[in-house]
């Protein structure tokens, strides 16, 4: 019985192999698709997408952004994500965490921090970027996200006065101005309490009253000439020069300005300047004119006194009538006029000299 079944089983096996052989040959082996084992990496947009930092000449600012890291991966595979951050202004920039290990598909929050230094220039176009690289054995993928960082303008002025001529009238000074802000600025120059000072006799001449569009850390100089009149009070006076940031008046209600004191030394009678010389000259001229008038009056009076028999000055001569009583006929002689008496006196003097 067994001997009869053996050939039958073998025959059936050979028939089965013959039937399935064409099927095996028509379906070749296909390797797994790489996308089925490659992880996916995605970074959401940084938030906020745009923000401004407020800094000053002494203080910086720290700005932060947030985003999400999402990784999908095949099962039984560990994916490691390395992160880095930077900005186009080269400010110190970091990301936390900077390394994440994914053992399963998930999403993790990250924070990007930018340290904006003090005195940073005004800007509205700094780009902050965070980058990530996800790796697994034999494979890696990358992703990135970005945002905009701006820096607001602040306004600041550094100024001091330099004395060029500190005596006499007028006196001269130089005002040195530095734009200590972080953006281009325009400055106006004026005298505090100018109207009141002008009533006191002061006069001011500025070489310019506006400095337009000065760049950050730019420098400029303005010359100031101060003169004063005869009625100006003598002594040292502090004149204050005001420098105002014009752009600050547009950006805020309270403008940024500084006051620079200028010490003016007002001497007696205007400090010995041109006005003083004119005043003294007028006085001398008046004295000379008065003297000349006195001399002329005196000479005219002297000449006039000789003609009438009167000498004006120290000694006064008077001519009085003289009457001789009892002539040879027993009659009085008539009175003589003053001119006749003077002529008789002259004749008598001439006779004395001839004797």
Three-state secondary structure readout of 194-222: HHHHHHCCCEEEECCCEEEEECCCCEEEE
CB count in 10 Å sphere of residue 191: 19
pLDDT of residue 343: 73
Contact 306, 313 (CB under 8 A): no
What is the C-alpha to C-alpha distance for residues 177 and 165, in angstroms, rounded to an integer? 19
CATH code, 35-151 = 2.60.40.2550
Which residue spans of the chain are classified as CATH 2.60.40.2550?
35-151
Give 269: exposed, middle or buried? Use CB within 10 Å, 0-12, 13-18, 19+. Answer: middle
Which residue spans of the chain are classified as CATH 2.60.40.10?
157-272
pLDDT of residue 311: 47
Contact 263, 210 (CB under 8 A): no
Tens digit of pLDDT at every position of the chain (355 positions): 445 555 565 655 565 555 555 544 444 545 545 445 678 999 999 999 999 999 999 999 999 999 999 999 988 899 999 999 999 999 999 999 999 999 999 999 999 999 999 999 999 999 999 999 999 988 999 999 999 999 999 999 999 999 999 999 999 999 999 999 999 999 999 999 999 999 999 999 999 999 999 999 999 999 999 999 988 989 999 999 999 999 999 887 789 999 999 999 998 665 444 555 555 566 767 778 777 787 777 776 665 554 444 444 444 445 455 555 555 555 555 556 666 666 776 677 676 665 5
pLDDT of residue 309: 46
Is-cis flag, bond preceding 48, omega within 30?
yes
pTM above 0.85, yes or no: no
pLDDT of residue 138: 87
Q: To which CATH superfamily is domain 157-272 assigned?
A: Immunoglobulins (2.60.40.10)
């Amino acid at each position: 019985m067994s001997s009869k079944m053996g050939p039958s089983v073998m025959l059936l096996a050979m028939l089965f192999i013959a039937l399935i052989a064409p099927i095996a040959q028509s379906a070749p082996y296909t390797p797994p698709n790489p996308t089925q084992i490659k992880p996916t990496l995605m970074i959401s947009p940084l938030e906020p997408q745009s923000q401004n930092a407020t800094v000053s000449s002494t203080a910086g600012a720290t700005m932060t952004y947030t985003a999400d890291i999402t990784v999908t991966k095949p099962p039984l595979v560990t994916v490691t994500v390395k992160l880095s951050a930077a900005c186009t202004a080269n400010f110190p920039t970091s990301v936390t965490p900077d390394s994440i290990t994914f053992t399963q598909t998930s999403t993790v929050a990250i924070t990007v921090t930018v340290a904006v230094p003090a005195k940073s220039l005004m800007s509205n176009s700094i780009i902050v970027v965070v980058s990530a690289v996800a790796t697994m054995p034999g494979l890696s993928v990358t992703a990135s996200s970005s945002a905009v960082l701006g820096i607001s303008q602040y306004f600041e002025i550094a100024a001091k006065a330099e004395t060029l001529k500190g005596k006499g009238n007028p006196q001269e000074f130089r005002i040195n101005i530095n734009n200590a802000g972080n953006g281009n600025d325009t400055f106006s120059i004026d005298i505090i309490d100018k109207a009141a000072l002008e009533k006191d006799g002061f006069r001011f001449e500025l070489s310019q009253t506006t400095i337009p569009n000065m760049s950050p850390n730019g420098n400029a100089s303005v010359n100031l000439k101060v003169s004063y009149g005869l009625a100006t009070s003598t002594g040292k006076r502090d004149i204050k020069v005001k420098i105002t940031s014009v752009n600050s008046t547009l950006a805020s209600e309270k403008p940024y300005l500084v006051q620079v004191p200028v010490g003016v030394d007002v001497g007696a009678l205007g400090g010995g300047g041109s006005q003083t010389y004119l005043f003294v000259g007028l006085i001398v001229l008046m004295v000379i004119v008065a003297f000349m008038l006195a001399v002329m009056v005196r000479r005219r009076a002297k000449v006039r006194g000789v003609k009438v028999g009167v000498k004006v000055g120290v000694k006064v001569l008077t001519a009085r009538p003289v009457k001789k009583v009892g002539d040879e006929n027993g009659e009085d002689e008539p009175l003589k006029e003053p001119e006749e008496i003077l002529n008789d006196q002259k004749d008598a003097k001439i006779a004395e000299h001839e004797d």
